[in-house]
Chains A and B, each alone.
Chain A
Amino acid sequence: MSHRFRHLLAIEPLSREQIVFLLDQAKPFQEFQRYPLKKLATLRGKTIALTFFENSTRTRISFATAASRLGADQMNLQAEASSVKKGESLSDTVRTLEAMRPDAIVIRHSSSGAAEFVSRRVDVPVINAGDGTHEHPTQALLDALTIRDRRGHLDGIRITMIGDILHSRVARSNIHLLSKFGAHMTLCGPAMWLPRELASLAPNIRCVPCIEEALDGADAIMALRIQQERMHEPSISAEDYILQYQLTPSRVKLARRNAIVLHPGPMIRGLEIDPAVADSPQSCILEQVTNGLAIRMAILFELVAGSADPQDHAKDSSHAAD
């Protein structure tokens, strides 16, 4: 089962089968999160390099925890303290890291294509933890796992994504992933964040500036994080955004009954989402976080562990290291 993935750089080039495979790989690790003893020996002796050239809290902690629960050691590089600040190129930085023999490199970077750039320069598996405004593949996989768990399947799902679609790597990865399952995707947001070219990303995409129209009949709603710094660009005021695009209980009612609500976080209550929606039974926001661990464990397992069966490892905590 190994060697199907050399790297995980983006969702776009993956097949539907590869995505289903990864989602299935995550199942035992989902179960594992409920175990009292959360430590496996699966990756004992392996080292994961976590290279975060861009600020991140939840994704970094999620990868670090996933690696730790699989028993791997970690090498941490954070931009603030890194050689990059001293002028070293990304190319030289990752080659130096590689010389310390990690078994995989997880990279977050503000430049689109940075993960692919790194993958062409090192011989170890590279996992994209978000590159610029390009893709965030593990986020899309954890979103898909969450939707599949809640709705039973991904096929033909009607999903509405709201917010700054243009700059969202989460939206891009989700669009590529869900399109492989015949999803109908409605993108909604202020016009400057909703260029018509977005519809060319995949089949069955509608760009709808009106949130009420966009939510009509949705099975799933994904509110995207609004980067508040963008509010200072000549674009839209926070007040206007709240008025036009905030996900409120009354707007959620326009979607299908029991439509689920997702948010990749960090979530700004009162801006992109009303607290009543964030805390409602329809909200899957905390499940997304837990599923993020399972997905990242599955990916590390797939890329680093080799041909072992994840079921065996996840079921048997006696493999715990230390």
Chain B
Amino acid sequence: MLLIKNGRVIDPTSKTDSHADVLIDKGKIAKIGAGISAGDAVVLDAANCIVAPGFIDMHCHLREPGGEISETIQSGTQSAARGGFTAVCPMPNTHPVNDNASVTRAILERAAAISPVHVWPIGAASKESKGEQLSEIAAMQQAGAVAVTDDGKPIASARLLRQVMDYCRPLNLPVIDHCEDSSLAAGGVMREGPHSIRLGLKGMPAAAESICVGRDVEVASLTGARLHIAHMSARGSLEHVRNAKRRGLSVTCEVTPHHFTLIDEDVRYDSHFKMNPPLASREDRDALLEGLADGTVDAIATDHAPHHPASKDVEFDRAPFGITGFETAIALALEQLVHANRISLMRMVELFTIGPAKILGKESKLHTGAPADITIFSTERDWTYHTVESPGLSRNTPFDGRKFRGGPVATIVGGKIVYRN
């Protein structure tokens, strides 16, 4: 038995926000209430901490199979646990691509053996993510895939997207899209604007994203399927999602911590500022903050994208896109959203829990009888993020050395403490 004492329990599902103890027995929540005592329980003192349902990162890259020099399922999920996540969803752009049930099963088997957190793989929408033929979508779903996407690039054409959505609708499987008009974004390495002009770096216009979101929303309307927009970064994209929601379409979206924290003006000739979608303009970033506050945005996802140091230690335009993100997500959300009084703590927890859970067809709640997947974090503890302390294999983040107020304290998965600060 594990007894979490003295915490502030926040559960968006039941709109709970109260000081209570949480007793865990046999991997499930046995009791929630004030002044619980259990003589033989291991006690975890959560005084001055938030006790929340387990945080879900619905968008990450674990690189295994094929990219183990950058990250493995083991190293990545250890990093996720350290970041306060109890479940993560690896994208299918591995080598081989997760486009069939045997790869999905292999990922799940590996995760079951060594991962401290739940791994819910996302399958490829098209074979090898080439945008030509549908992958084994139903078989992957049966094996455990929770969504499909060709992430890393958009689903290649409106026609293919329609086929994928038509196929996924009866399966009630969400289709996730990395929205980018590839012809408009071609060759771009950062967001197009005054700063890209100044640095002499080729820009991708914000419209490269929003045009594709517009396309996707129309196809979602045509098919009635569930559409989820990945790592959204532009005001225009947000408007498309807002309108789609008004129209009653099943359209959701996520935003990453780096997109609601940094802007294109922060970009230097340092490949740790290179990601796709690129860091947005101040106006676009402010629109994302607005969307997080008003409910347009459904989830915060990290897009944790580890790259081996050697591959990032190159000229900016030659470096791969992407930064790591598990371990700084909670701290950045607190810094930018809660401490800045943009959203409530309840809303922040929602964005990390029932937001992604609903999209993925999972549950996320702190109820008696529910699985004991719990994230405990502090809102006040001062700490500094040092990548050298990370169990992850890559170090590609612009936040190394950044001072934070608040962050993960303990991660509990199935009643077991998998990370404790």
Contacts and interface: CB of A to CB of B under 8 A. Distances in A.
Interface of A: 12, 89-91, 109, 111-114, 116-117, 131-135, 166, 169, 172, 195, 197-198, 200-201
Interface in B177-214: 192-194, 196-202
Contacts of A90: 314-315
Given A89-B313, A111-B318, A113-B269, A198 B200 contact: no
B398 to A, nearest CB: 15
A228 to B, nearest CB: 19
A47 B318 CA distance: 30
A134 B200 contact: yes
Contacts of B269: 112-113, 116-117
Given A89-B313, A89-B314, A113-B315, A200 B200 contact: no
Given A117-B269, A197-B194, A200-B194, A132 B313 contact: no
B17 interface: no
A268 to B, nearest CB: 22
Contact of A133 (B192, B193, B200, B318): B200
A197 B202 CA distance: 13
Nearest to B197: A197
* In the A-B complex, the 6 residue pairs with the closest CB atoms: A113-B269, A134-B200, A111-B315, A112-B200, A133-B200, A200-B194
B310 interface: yes
B290 interface: no
Contacts of B200: 112-113, 131-135, 169, 172
Given A89-B310, A197-B192, 20 more contacts: A109-B315, A111-B318, A112-B199, A112-B200, A112-B317, A113-B269, A113-B316, A114-B315, A117-B315, A131-B200, A133-B202, A134-B199, A135-B200, A172-B200, A197-B193, A197-B194, A197-B196, A200-B197, A201-B194, A201-B198
Contacts of A117: 269, 315-316
11 contacts: A89-B313, A90-B315, A133-B201, A134-B199, A169-B200, A172-B200, A195-B197, A197-B196, A200-B197, A200-B198, A201-B198
B194 A132 contact: no
Given A89-B310, A112-B269, A113-B269, A166 B315 contact: no
A109 B310 CA distance: 19
A111 B317 CA distance: 6
A132 B317 contact: yes
B304 to A, nearest CB: 25
B188 to A, nearest CB: 13
A174 to B, nearest CB: 14
A115 to B, nearest CB: 9
B272 to A, nearest CB: 13
B273 to A, nearest CB: 11
A166 B316 CA distance: 19
Nearest to A121: B313
A4 B138 CA distance: 67
Chain A contact residues, majority secondary structure: mixed
Contacts of B310: 89
Interface residues of B, number: 18
* Interface hub of A112, A132, A135, A200 (most chain B Cβ within 10 A): A112
Contacts of B197: 166, 195, 197-198, 200-201
A112 B316 contact: yes
Nearest to A90: B315
Interface in B300-319: 310, 313-318
Contacts of B201: 112-113, 132-134
Contacts of B193: 197
Contacts of B199: 112-113, 134
Nearest to A118: B315
Nearest to B269: A113
Contact of A111 (B198, B313, B316): B316
Contacts of A112: 199-201, 269, 316-317
B317 A91 contact: no
A169 B199 CA distance: 10
A201 B196 CA distance: 11
Question: Residue among A132, A166, A169, A198 with the most chain B CB within 10 A?
Answer: A132
Chain A CB count within 10 A is highest, among B193, B197, B317, for B197
Contacts of B192: 197
Contacts of A135: 200
A205 B359 CA distance: 49
Q: Which of B200, B269, B310 has the most CB of A within 10 A?
A: B200
Contacts of A132: 200-201, 317
A113 B195 CA distance: 13
B206 to A, nearest CB: 13
Nearest to A114: B315
Nearest to A109: B315
A199 to B, nearest CB: 9
Contacts of B315: 90, 109, 111, 113-114, 117
Nearest to A113: B269
A198 B315 CA distance: 24
A185 to B, nearest CB: 14
A51 to B, nearest CB: 13
B215 to A, nearest CB: 21
A91 B193 CA distance: 29
Contacts of B318: 111
A133 B188 CA distance: 13
A25 to B, nearest CB: 27
A93 to B, nearest CB: 11
A248 B201 CA distance: 32
Contacts of A200: 194, 197-198
A172 B200 CA distance: 9
B90 to A, nearest CB: 28
A172 B199 CA distance: 9
B144 to A, nearest CB: 39
A166 B198 CA distance: 10
A89 B317 CA distance: 13
Contacts of A114: 315
Contacts of A195: 197
